[in-house]
């Protein structure tokens, strides 16, 4: 065992954690990541109990900050002591995590004053104001009757973000507090402020003050030191805690366990790569009819069957997170192509082998040929006549290559696909089973890592 590690071992059950549960933590920054109700808060409270009884921390050297810390008293009278506060907290959580059938535990609204170091009060206030400025907040001033003001307004009148972070910053800047246990450091903070707070937590941990945090925000994961992150899951009555050891685990947690979405970052959740602009228009309408909202799946034209594989790989090779070895799209992107000719068959077979079920190939050489006569009629078009015109222009392009012929072919195909897309209705979807399959796969895979 590492001599600098904290070994937590239960000799009796603690909430959902069974007798014999063991957890080894290094001093520094430790963050517990998991879904709602996975057991993160319970493990934090048990860590507090452990530190409370450990000599180098003790009743006055550890601070536990729960998620319900948004209340701040209007005035800041001299407190009793953090030790007295912790003694009362211990009475409530020594035998198991807090129950919420009534108000329990000491009054958190005075916690920030309990974390103030009285002999170096001004020095600590200056340090706190520096941290508040980094987070985008104003400076604190102690006014008449011990009223705490921020930007000339009493602190209790400010937003919940500053009220929630105030006791945490007081604990971090107190030389008396040797360890901080924080549940949901992200409470009420915008993403930018969360990022700064995460930097502050890492800095405090780097200076020798252990930080133990539980979060549902990906911002607070430690991307530099993977083993500082712990996955908390619960499939039965008892939680399981797993220390991360790979980038894939971290990305899995960020994109799946914590429920983050590329769509939230204004990226599409998935791509559907199609062969040409005609396919693009029809597939976009298919996705709309399947109830896909804007931003879920982006249809992108590869501009030719031989470019489909390169387009797919460009998405995977470009959109790779900085800490990961592969793109979050690597198991998502779906490719839909026309039936290949002899020269393209080998390339499409290779792409299908790579994509497996995510590679969908039409059974006709073009999407115009794949769409049945009945849908052409709904669109007010003559299928035979349209296909004949496409064939004539395609031959001209193939043998002559004149720009005006290429443009005429593009205009005709765009006109046909636009007419078909406008005419498509729910009752037509089963008449286009392969296009429907590709669209449904793109939707299904949109949340897969």
- For residue 228 the two structure tokens come to 């500082």
Going along the chain from its start, the domains and CATH numbers come out as 5-260 (3.40.50.300), 263-447 (no CATH)
Distance CA 371, CA 373 (A): 7
Mean pLDDT of 329-339: 91
DSSP 396: H
SS3 at position 365: coil
Low-confidence winner among 132-141, 180-189, 418-427 (lowest mean pLDDT)? 132-141
- For residue 356 the two structure tokens come to 């497996």
**pLDDT value at residue 265:** 56
Q: Is 239 left (phi over 0), alpha (psi -120 to 50) or beta?
A: beta
Cβ distance 56 to 173 under 8 Å? Answer: no
Full-model pTM: 0.72
Alpha carbons within 13 angstroms on the beta-carbon side of residue 210 total 22
Quick check: 60 pLDDT over 60?
yes
C-alpha distances (whole Å) from 256 to each of 45, 152, 236, 276, 318 are 26, 43, 19, 32, 21
pLDDT band for position 280 (50/70/90)? very high
Distance CA 254, CA 270 (A): 17
Cβ distance 174 to 116 under 8 Å? Answer: yes
- For residue 21 the two structure tokens come to 């549960």
Quick check: 87 pLDDT over 70?
yes
Find, among 198, 203, 253, the residue nearest to 40 by Cα: 253
**pLDDT value at residue 259:** 63
Quick check: 77 pLDDT over 60?
no
SS3 at position 153: strand
DSSP 90: H
Quick check: 370 pLDDT over 60?
yes
Q: Tokens 């399959």, residue? A: 437
Q: How many CB atoms lie within 10 A of CB 432?
A: 22
Per-position b or e across 233-269, b if 16+ CB within 10 A of its CB: ebeeeebebebbeeeebbbbbbbebbebebbeeeebb
Q: For 187-219, how does the pLDDT look when each residue is reduced to its tens digit (9 = 90+)?
A: 999 989 999 999 999 999 999 999 999 998 888
Distance CA 160, CA 72 (A): 10
The residues, any chain, with a CB within 8 Å of residue 85's CB and separated by 6 or more, are 79, 106, 110, 111, 114
Cβ distance 304 to 278 under 8 Å? Answer: no
Which pairing describes strands 179-183 and 62-65: parallel, antiparallel, or unpaired? parallel
Per-position b or e across 378-416, b if 16+ CB within 10 A of its CB: bbebebeebbebbeebbebbeeeeeeebeebbeebbeeb
Which residues make beta-bridge pairs with 147? Answer: 75
Distance CA 33, CA 30 (A): 10
Distance CA 66, CA 106 (A): 11
pLDDT band for position 1 (50/70/90)? very low
pLDDT band for position 333 (50/70/90)? very high
> In this predicted model, which residue has the larger pLDDT, 108 or 63?
63
pLDDT band for position 247 (50/70/90)? confident
**pLDDT value at residue 263:** 65
Beta strands in 55-197 (DSSP E): 62-65, 140-142, 148-150, 153-154, 179-183
pLDDT band for position 155 (50/70/90)? confident
Q: Give me the chain's average pLDDT, please.
A: 88
């Amino acid at each position: 065992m590492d001599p600098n590690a904290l070994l937590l071992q239960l000799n009796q059950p603690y909430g959902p954690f069974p007798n014999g549960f063991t957890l080894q933590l290094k001093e520094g920054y430790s963050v517990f990541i998991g879904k709602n109700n996975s057991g993160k808060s319970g493990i934090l409270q048990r860590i507090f109990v452990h530190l409370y009884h450990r000599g180098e921390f003790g009743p006055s050297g550890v601070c536990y900050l729960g998620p319900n810390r948004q209340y701040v008293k209007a005035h800041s009278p001299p407190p009793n002591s953090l030790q007295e506060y912790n003694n009362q907290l211990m009475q409530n959580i020594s035998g198991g995590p807090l129950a919420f059938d009534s108000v329990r535990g000491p009054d958190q609204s005075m916690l920030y004053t309990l974390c103030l170091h009285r002999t170096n009060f001004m020095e600590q206030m200056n340090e706190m104001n520096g941290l508040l400025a980094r987070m985008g907040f104003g400076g604190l001033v102690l006014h008449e009757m011990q009223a705490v003001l921020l930007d000339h307004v009493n602190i209790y009148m400010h937003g919940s973000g500053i009220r929630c972070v105030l006791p945490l910053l007081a604990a971090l800047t107190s030389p008396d507090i040797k360890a901080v246990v924080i549940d949901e450091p992200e409470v009420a903070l915008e993403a930018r402020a969360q990022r700064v707070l995460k930097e502050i937590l890492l800095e405090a941990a780097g200076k020798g003050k252990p930080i133990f945090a539980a979060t549902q925000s990906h911002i607070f994961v430690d991307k530099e030191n993977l083993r500082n992150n712990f996955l908390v899951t619960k499939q039965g009555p008892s939680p399981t805690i797993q220390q991360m050891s790979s980038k894939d685990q971290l990305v899995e947690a960020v994109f799946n366990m914590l429920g983050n979405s590329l769509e939230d970052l204004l990226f599409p959740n998935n791509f559907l790569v199609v062969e040409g602009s005609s396919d693009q228009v029809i597939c976009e309408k298919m996705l709309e009819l399947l109830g896909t909202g804007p931003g879920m799946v982006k249809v992108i034209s590869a501009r030719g069957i031989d470019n489909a594989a390169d387009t797919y790989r460009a998405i995977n090779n470009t959109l790779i997170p900085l800490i990961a070895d592969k793109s979050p799209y690597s198991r998502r992107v779906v490719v839909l192509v026309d039936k290949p000719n002899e020269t393209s068959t080998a390339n499409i077979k290779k792409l299908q082998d790579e994509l497996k079920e995510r590679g969908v190939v039409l059974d006709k050489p073009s999407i115009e040929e794949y769409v049945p006569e009945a849908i052409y009629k709904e669109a007010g078009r003559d299928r035979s006549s349209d296909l004949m015109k496409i064939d004539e222009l395609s031959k001209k392009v193939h043998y002559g290559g004149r720009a005006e012929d290429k443009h005429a072919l593009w205009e005709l195909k765009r006109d046909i696909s636009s007419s078909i897309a406008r005419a498509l209705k729910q009752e037509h979807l089963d008449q286009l089973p392969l296009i429907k399959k590709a669209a449904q796969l793109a939707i299904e895979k949109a949340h897969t890592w």
